[in-house]
Amino acid sequence: MRVDSAQRRTLVTGGAGFLGSHLCELLLAEGHDVLCVDNFSTGARRNVEHLLGHPRFELMSHDVTAPLHVEVDRIYNLACPASPVQYQRDPVQTTKTCVLGALHMLDLAQRERARILQASTSEVYGDPGLHPQPESYWGNVNPVGMRSCYDEGKRCAESLFFDYHRQHRVDIRVARIFNTYGPRMHPQDGRVVSNFIVQALRGEPLTIYGKGLQTRSFCFVDDMVAGLHRFMEAAPGGTGPVNIGNPQEFTVRDLAQLVIELTGSSSKLAFAPLPRDDPVQRRPEVSMAEQMFDWQPHVSLAEGLRRTIAHLDGLLSIDGSPQVAATSG
């Protein structure tokens, strides 16, 4: 295993996705050789096209449900559909990606003696009975619900990571990612931020599920990838799990009103029944991230939304006006 950070070869699975493509950019800026792996089921080649000519960037088409044999020093395991619309489209494949993907990347990390970070999720907390959610909370997850392919798949992946750490001494990091948004979100991914922005830009009613009083915490993508990178490079021994997200809490209705204001839209609010197992509250306790690797988010919701609106507005002008999928999270 190489130890010089300037020569480090880093694998990012799901690297052509929304979050992964931003992480690839950051790693290149930090001097890493980056191997971006994606099967393009939800990722998009256009997210990384601007990196293809970079001398330290390589793009590989591969599905992590199959083993991978490459030489690397760092592994960020981000491969998995992350929005309810995407992961519920093929729930069996979602579970395979979570579990087999984790297993194969851990095997690779063991062989290469590489440090590996798992992109886990706040969904491991389910519909939480404790607020805000600290890492010590075990969660309230429906194991047989519509969201369980993702929720339980990620929980099983965490279990595998810690078993490999205890049994095989694999150097792991487990990050629990809370709601993240920003440029390169897909307009049809069904997440609440992209839903609202697309609807506002089209002048359509913004669809709110339930009364819109459920809360979310929104972390801008630049802050998120900075947190993941800091966690990965923190001193050995800090396995986590660690929450990474913005602790500022907003109701879904507050978010809708802010999107309307920032887009200058004439859109109104429309209300629909709340989907099953939709969390009522979601807010991270982030003191562990602050203490372990001196991280906290800096981009305000208004500033992050302005940058996301500009991106989605550009996509809509090119691709037309897509139908918006239904989800509230």
- Annotated catalytic residues are 150
Residue with tokens 């404790």: 130
Q: What amino acid occupies position 238?
A: G
126, amino acid identity: G
**Cα-based torsion angle of the residue sequence 68, 70, 72, 75 in order, rounded to the nearest 10 degrees:** -10
Give 133's strand partners.
284
Q: Count other C-beta atoms under 10 Å from residue 234's C-beta.
A: 17
| Contacts with 175 (C-beta within 8 Å, 6 or more apart), sequence order | 117, 118, 119, 120, 227, 228, 231, 240, 241, 242, 243, 244
Q: What are phi and psi of 180, to 5 degrees?
A: -125, 145
According to DSSP, residue 125 is labeled G
Alpha-carbon distance 140 to 148, whole Å? 11
